[in-house]
Structures are given as C-alpha cells and as structure tokens.
Amino acid sequence: MTSPEILQKVKKDEARFFSLQFADLLGVIKEVVKPIAELASALEQGVWFDGSSVEGFARIQESDMFLKPDPDTYAVLPWTEGKNKTIRFICDIYQANGQPYESDPRFVLKKAIQSAQAMGFQYTVGPEPEFYLFEKNDSQESLPLDKGGYFDWTYSRGIRVAQEATEALKSFGVNVECLHHEVGEGQYEIDFNYGSALEIADKLLTLRYVVKKIADFNGLKATFMPKPIKGMAGSGMHVRQSLFSLDGQTNLFSSDLGAYRLADLAKSFLAGQLKYIKEICLTLCPTVNSYKRLISGFEAPVYITWASSNRSALIRVPKWFSDKPKAARIELRCPDSSSNPYLAFTAMLAAGLAGIEQNLAPTEPVEENVYHLDEANLKNRHIATLPGSLFEALAWFGQSELMKKILGEELFNRYLSVKQKEWNEFKTEVCSWELDKYSNIY
C-alpha cells in the first residue's frame, strides 16, 4: 500500500492511534504508540528513537535512529475499539543518515533472502511454536493450567485462549493451520501456513505478542520459554523448510526418486545445516534455559543426525502425499521460541546455502532411536552432539566465519557480547538446586 492508501484505510478503520513495533537483538518486541494525527509524518519521514537504549543496538555516541513502518504489516489490534482503536506496523530501522541500520535483525534477514534469490531460490518456512499457559499467582511457582497431554481436549481455559488467539491472529493476516494441546500439562501449539522467511518471522513476533495478550485478558500467563518446568516437555519451535523457484511454483526439494524423495539440492541444503549446526546453534537456542530442553527423553534433539520417521534426529524429512510435491520439506528440530526469528532464519538459510555452494552430501540417515545408542556406537558412526550449554554454543559461534560473514562483523560482535554477558550473569547465580543439594550437607 502507498501512504495515501494507508491513510484512506486508517480513515475507514476509524483508528485513533498507531503502534510501531520492532524486535531488539534478542527478539523482544519494542513498541511506541502515537496518535493517528502523527501517522502521515511517520510514513513519510519516520519516527526517531534512542538506539542506545535498545538491547544490542547503537552506542550512546551514535544513538539517533528512526523507525519506518512497513505498509505490508498494517493490522488493526482486534482488542481495541472506539477511542482506543489502534493499528499496528512492524518497522525497519534506519540510521540518522537515512541508510538502513545494517545490524537491524530484520534487515539482515532481508539481505540473506536476497542472497538466496540471487542463486534462484525462494526460502519458505513453517514454524511450529509451542508455549505453556500458567495460572497467575503471587508465588514464583508455575502452576500449569491443566493436566492434559498430547492432542487431549481439555475443558480448561487453555483451549479458549488458543481459539481466541487464532481469531485475533486473522486480523494480522496470520492464518492458523491447526492448534492443539501438546505433551506437557498446560502446553499448547499453534501452527500457521508456510510463507517466505521474512513474512513468517514477522508473524512469529505477532503470534507471541497476541498469545501473551489474550492469555493476560483471560487471567493467565503465557510463556514461550524453552523449559519452564523441570521434568516436563520443553517448548520447541520445529521449523519446516523448503526452497522454491523464484516464481513460487516449483518446490526444488521435491524428487520422485529415492526413499526420502529429496532432490540433490535438498540433500546439500540439509548437509549444510548438519555441518554448521554447532556454529549457528546460538541463534536457534539462544538462552541458558534452551539447553535444559535439549536433553534425551522428550523428543528434543541431542545428536546431529537426520532421518524420516525418527523424531530423535536433529533434522527430519516428514512424509508428504505423492500428488503434492509442493509439500516436500525438511524439519529442523532444535530451534525454540526464545530465538530472534530474523536471526534464526538468517542462520538456517546461510548454513543451507553454504551446503549447496559446497555441493555437500549428507551423512547416512539414522532411523534408530539415537537416544538408545551407546557411546561406542555413537563414536563408530561419527555421530556428534549439539552444544550442551550456552557456554559451548558461545564458543562455536565465536569462531564461526560463516556467522561473521552473514551477520556482519558489528552485529556478530554485539550478539556475542550480549550472550556472553548473559552467561556470565548465570555463572554467578546461586540457584535453588544448589541450595537444596549442598546447604545441609556441607
């Protein structure tokens, strides 16, 4: 939409305010709300803000930045009406000199997509974000909303929250494919349709924003934290991926040959992600808590393998109907929703394209339950493991030339610094497990 078209639409929608949103380096939504009278200026010139006050952005001596709304992200906030009716835009970030801010995660993903397009590819993704719903209480203890399990229909408010969120998401152009109860008590999943990586990254931010809002309206707390409760299933964000032709008509991963029906291009893309997974893991599983999800026993990947039906594998090749070649895809299973989706998709795409450029072939698939293989078997078959902690992921990321190249040196160093600070904070914490374990015996 052009600026005049947007202003006409605003008049028709009778909006009184507009919200400008963007993601900081960690993928956390930032927002400024302004009266609708300011919209024409915002569309034409942008809205200034202090970049040095946003996690991972500018230094204090170069802090002036401005936001430019992306017209394609126009949406009416469905829970606002009358004098409070508000529209929302996701924004791009610009420097004071009018140039795009090259360390804006959204801009970095746009550049990665352009690289794929230059090779003749359109990168499409379909994430499966999971989250928990908790009763609000005054204590620190998290009380799951219900006792349901996988695909259970419960009579709690959880289903209502998921359904209300699904309806609200329509206002943002997010078409939900399915919603269901997950394995954990009070755990749910909302999946939406495939789309381009940039579009889906925007929609992931929107989904987290909407689910948290709707949960709060219902007196509940929603969290996409990877492992909120010890002993229960973690919340992941499996990402289905494909490369299409530039016109979007041909799925380049599809083949009629072989047991997995994957084209050689898809196998090289998959091999690239296997090769570089340790280096990109910090962007996919970016928190201390992420690595408490990546343990044996909960269908979360630990070992760097690929397979079809085997859900202990890092990368899975789901089945699809033979008359629907556009459904050909691979599924990366380690990411979680604490990731910044712009950085996560950038890293995944970069690793896959590197596999294609290097004409890599994947290792042999492993269809057995990898959790049941002993150390000798793993060693003989050269099966490596994912980083086991944020500390390990930092080490792999820090020496990655691939990540430095794709993110740019400034963003690479900022991200590394922010995550190193997070690890250092965690190292000095004394947690309840330590107190329970040691305080009475020493």
In tens, the pLDDT along 289-306 reads: 999 999 987 778 999 999
Q: Would you state the pLDDT for residue 144?
A: 78
Residues of the chain whose pLDDT is less than 50? none
> Alpha helix (H) ranges present in 285-398?
290-293, 341-357, 375-380, 390-398
pTM: 0.94
Q: What is the pLDDT of residue 58?
A: 57
The CATH code of domain 110-433 reads: 3.30.590.10
Distance CA 87, CA 13 (A): 9
Instruction: Give the pLDDT confidence of 258-275 residue by residue, as tens digits.
Output: 888 899 999 999 999 999
For the chain, counts of helices (H) and of strands (E): 13, 16
Q: Which residues of the chain form CATH 3.30.590.10? A: 110-433
Give residue 258's pLDDT.
Answer: 81
Which residues line the annotated binding site?
A: 128, 130, 177, 182, 189, 192-194, 238, 293, 299, 311, 326, 331, 333
* CATH code 3.10.20.70 region(s) in the chain: 3-101
Token digits for 250? 């041909």
Feature table: binding site for Mg(2+): 128, 130, 182, 189, 238, 331
Would you name the residues annotated as active-site residues?
50, 128, 130, 182, 189, 238, 311, 331, 333
Helix (H, G, I), strand (E, B) or coil at 222: strand
Quick one: pLDDT at residue 150? 78
**Residue 314 and residue 19: Cα distance in Å, rounded?**
38
Question: Binding site for ATP: which residues?
Answer: 177, 192-194, 311, 326
User: How far is residue 314's CA from residue 274's CA, in Å, rounded to a whole number?
Assistant: 8
Q: What share of the chain is helix, strand, coil (3-state, %, to 5)?
A: 40, 20, 40
Query: Which residues have CB under 8 Å from 180's CB, separation 6+?
Result: 150, 151, 188, 189
- Matching CATH number, 3-101, of 3.10.20.70, 2.130.10.10, 3.60.110.10, 3.30.465.10: 3.10.20.70
The CA R_g of the chain, rounded to the nearest whole Å, is 22
